[in-house]
Structure 1
Amino acid sequence: MSEEASVQERQQVTDEVIQEALRADKGPDASLVSWKFEDFTMKGDNYTCLVTCLVVQYTLGGKLEEATYVAKMRRNIAMDTFASVIQKLVKWEGTCLAEIVPCMNKILKELGHRGIGTAKAYHCVYEKDKEVLLLEDLRSRGFRMYDRKRGMDIPHARLVLQELGRLHAASILLEKSLPEQDITKTWSIFQDMWESTGDTKKMLDGMTASQLEGAAMIMEKVPNYEHVVKWINQVKGSAADVFMENSTSDPTFAVLVHGDCWTNNLLFRYNAAGDPVEVMLVDLQGMRRVSPAVDLNYFLYSSFNGPDRSPNVELFLGVYYTSFCEVLRAANTPVPFTLEELRQEYRRKMEYGCIAGMFVVPIILSEVEDAPDFEGITDDKMEEFAKQRQEVLLKMISREDGLLKPRFLDMFDEMVEAGIIPRHSKGDST
């Protein structure tokens, strides 16, 4: 069953908005005739925005033509703090797609490289309560989603890691081309992504802690994982800080990352044999200037089953690094870190990957009825919402075909092996 926009959300799309997008796409002589919504996403596919399709009829050169666009509309959220964050994120993504990525692509084109794989942004509206992005419909070029419940495999992962490498490298070249050689000074949106105090911080602390409490409840039911439960309970109060600490970076490892690179935010195109041949990065609401290891850990611990991730980490880092270096060397720009230094940085950011996994994996593996309803959250119902989410997690691990428990077990085993989680608490037997 597709997810439909509410009346209020649909009002964000108007004839004027569509006409602007149409002219940006087809030229100034294109004239809007009619349009309609054609919903295609399911509940659980998108959380901060509602995504739908617009089927547009227009005239150009005396002929009646048809085009489709993807509309991303800010959800009607009852909780003021959450609504304010989403309003920022819409502007964030619009700026990235309409301004920053095109600047990167211009540099790449001059080097003889293709542009970063993202949708074109045709028109963006940031006015409060009217926020909407009209984007290229990548389905018209044959791109489609990967099954989010399947773990990512090596052929798909190669494409993603190569594209992340190109994105990160292009951001370095972009920054060097700017007057102050600092992306955060040219685009002020990068300076205040998250508030470190106040209502936003309180909301993030609460949402993150409750999700980790749910993970601890799951692991309490697994024999011999008491050390994992103890670690989760130790870090849950500061988990949101781990995310915000990763919003700044050592200059050696400073790139623009995707920031939310998981299965649902990737579209693939396939050849006649069914092999993936191209990837598109979608949903750039988390793009920020941090370590590339943030993207790598987020992707690997959100979108893989353990047996496909653990033995292939070295391969994955190599694929990423080769792509990263190719872009920089084409521009005669020094590579800021070695492959060994990347390995070490990846290891340093594994705690981030684990916390992201505890937060994201339950969402990825949820059924339609399990998907969280963010629209109904209010400040006074946060505790009730947290309890409901924890009940959903327990229901998910009780299913005979459930994938959540093995995903968690593999992830925590890797964290223990890496020394992120102590094998035994003080006083435990060895």
Structure 2
Amino acid sequence: MSKTTQQNVKSNNDSEATAGGDGKIVYENPKWLKAELFENQLKETVPNYQKILKFEAKPAVAAGENYATVMLCVNINVELMDGKTKLISYMMKLPQENEHFIDIMRNHNIFDIERTMYYEIVPEFEQLYRQNGAKVNISAKCYNFETPSEFGVILLEDLRPHGYKNANRLEGLDLEHTKAVLERLAQWHAASAVRVETKGLYPEAFQKGVFNESQREMMENYRKSNMPIFLEALKEFKAKEIVAMENVLETLTDQLIRTSIYDPDDFNVLNHGDCWCNNVLFKYDREGNLEDTLLIDYQMINYGSPAKDLLYFLLSSTSYDVKLKHFDYFIRFYHENLVKNLKLLKYPKKLPTLKEMHIAVLKYSIWGISVCVGIMAVALLEQNNDANIDGFFGNSEAATRFRNSLYGNPRFLKHAKVLISWMYNRGFMEVSP
């Protein structure tokens, strides 16, 4: 896969959400999203800016690409002082307006967390590398932007005109692309560990992540709404493995909350928390060779073992051919890059060993179970008009239809069957007394 295909770009819109007759959610742009909101931004960033000629905000990604948030592509034609025109484009992320997501936001404002990441933490990571003679660009540029939205928005540069795009999530990442992500993730993790040694621990919200006690009810609702359909879809698979899976899923909420609290005896990093292929952008040269890799979307940050990010990414986003065949090699490759970057940044503590990394993967194996029943199913689902966050919790026909398509998807079942056997044989499904 020397070249990847860009996904259908989508966005729903945010402020006025209405339900159609079949239960589907239809979004419209928020009423406050007007051209004049961008005047100061354009004056500050566009040389010789004079005025806005045309303003358009439309969906940036197709249904099934985003669930918790809405992504809009904002296109603004501007006139310059010399009379010439220029097209300026941004990506704007807004919270979805539904009761489940609003409850999450009021207990754990992931937009505040993401803004802090873009404005403070990621620049600190990049500065650490500059101080040690390396130039590392981790992510897109984020702009300070005020709106009447209750939880705020995230306004980003649009990297698509610069040649960045997502890989095809249905195919999954091949060996080359997986290694590129692991290299970038190792840089991120190394800088995040060094930053703790120089500036202290991250804020409490970063430490506990989204899977915390305040979200227990939401997590239990998700488990009870989705797991019966997941188990039903796999009922004809090997009985002993499905029984083991059913048993461990009974403990899923408790285990995720418990392992979201970092263990000071572990080697800990700031986990991206949502590192799957839709949150990675790839850039290619004219010959189609992979040139750069960027990580985006920092709403599910969690301080703890890097095993969480490794399980999340490797099990959700790799192709069927490499997912398990090269899993142990990927851990080694990541570890080599992690240690290299820790040494570069002069990490003052004991370096983690490869053996410790494999042990951590087993210790935090519940995250692998969570990936199998969660983000992996999402990644492998074709474009689906029923796809939105209500589909995981709601009782509408559209929500039921969505969950059935999520777990009844032949592509998902193909991955799930081999992954469940692999996890069973590694002890992932053993439940501690």
- Note whether the superposition's TM-score is higher than 0.5: yes
Flag structure 2 segments of 5+ consecutive residues without an equivalent. Answer: 1-7, 17-28
Q: Distance in 1 between matches of 2:107 and 2:332?
A: 35
* Residue 331 (1) aligns with residue 351 (2): no
Instruction: Identify if the C-alpha distance between structure 1 residues 386 and 140 changes in structure 2 by more than 3 Å, giving closer, same or farther.
Output: closer
Instruction: Identify if the C-alpha distance between structure 1 residues 173 and 256 changes in structure 2 by more than 3 Å, giving closer, same or farther.
Output: same
Q: Deviations over 1:354-382 (max 9, x none)?
A: 2222111221122333643335888xx45
Q: Distance in 1 between matches of 2:331 and 2:217?
A: 35
The match for 1:256 is 270
Q: Secondary structure at the match of 1:403?
A: helix
Q: Distance in 1 between matches of 2:207 and 2:80?
A: 42
The match for 1:183 is 202
Q: Distance in 2 between matches of 1:349 and 1:87?
A: 23
Q: Secondary structure at the match of 1:39?
A: strand
Instruction: Identify if the C-alpha distance between structure 1 residues 21 and 95 changes in structure 2 by more than 3 Å, giving closer, same or farther.
Output: farther
Instruction: Identify if the C-alpha distance between structure 1 residues 377 and 243 changes in structure 2 by more than 3 Å, giving closer, same or farther.
Output: closer
Flag structure 1 segments of 5+ consecutive residues without an equivalent. Answer: 397-401, 423-430
Question: Which residue of 57, 66, 72 maps to 2:87?
Answer: 66
TM-score when normalising by structure 1: 0.85
Q: Following superposition of structure 1 onto structure 2, how do residues 16-415 of structure 1 map, counting pairs within 5 Å? A: 17-23=37-43, 25-26=45-46, 30=49, 32-34=51-53, 35-58=55-78, 62=82, 64-79=85-100, 82=103, 84=105, 88-125=109-146, 129=150, 131-178=152-199, 181-184=200-203, 188-190=204-206, 193-194=209-210, 196-197=212-213, 200-222=215-237, 225-251=238-264, 252-334=266-348, 335-369=350-384, 371-374=386-389, 381=394, 387-393=400-406, 395-396=408-409, 402-415=410-423
**Which stretch has the larger CA shift, 263-272 or 324-333?**
324-333
* Paired letter, 2:75: V
Instruction: Identify if the C-alpha distance between structure 1 residues 392 and 86 changes in structure 2 by more than 3 Å, giving closer, same or farther.
Output: farther
CA contact (8 A) 1:119 1:280 kept: yes
The match for 1:399 is none
CA contact (8 A) 2:248 2:429 kept: no
The structure whose residues are more often helix, as a share, is: 1
1:99 is displaced (CA, Å) by: 1.6
Q: Distance in 1 between matches of 2:45 and 2:296?
A: 19
Off by >6 Å, runs of 4+ in structure 1: 383-386
* Paired letter, 1:270: Y
TM-score when normalising by structure 2: 0.84
* Paired letter, 1:293: A
* Paired letter, 2:262: S
The match for 1:11 is 31
Instruction: Identify if the C-alpha distance between structure 1 residues 127 and 339 changes in structure 2 by more than 3 Å, giving closer, same or farther.
Output: farther
CA contact (8 A) 2:109 2:151 kept: no
Q: Secondary structure at the match of 1:316?
A: helix
- Identity of matched residues, %: 22
CA contact (8 A) 1:70 1:134 kept: yes
Count, aligned residues = 406
CA contact (8 A) 2:35 2:52 kept: no
* Paired letter, 1:45: E
The match for 1:421 is 429
Q: Secondary structure at the match of 2:154?
A: strand
Q: Secondary structure at the match of 2:188?
A: helix
1:191 is displaced (CA, Å) by: 5.2
CA contact (8 A) 1:165 1:324 kept: yes
Instruction: Identify if the C-alpha distance between structure 1 residues 242 and 144 changes in structure 2 by more than 3 Å, giving closer, same or farther.
Output: same
Instruction: Identify if the C-alpha distance between structure 1 residues 406 and 141 changes in structure 2 by more than 3 Å, giving closer, same or farther.
Output: same
Q: Deviations over 1:10-63 (max 9, x none)?
A: 335344542344355447x74552422243310011111111211123455645
Q: Deviations over 1:270-309 (max 9, x none)?
A: 1233232211111111112111010000011111244312
Instruction: Identify if the C-alpha distance between structure 1 residues 338 and 130 changes in structure 2 by more than 3 Å, giving closer, same or farther.
Output: closer
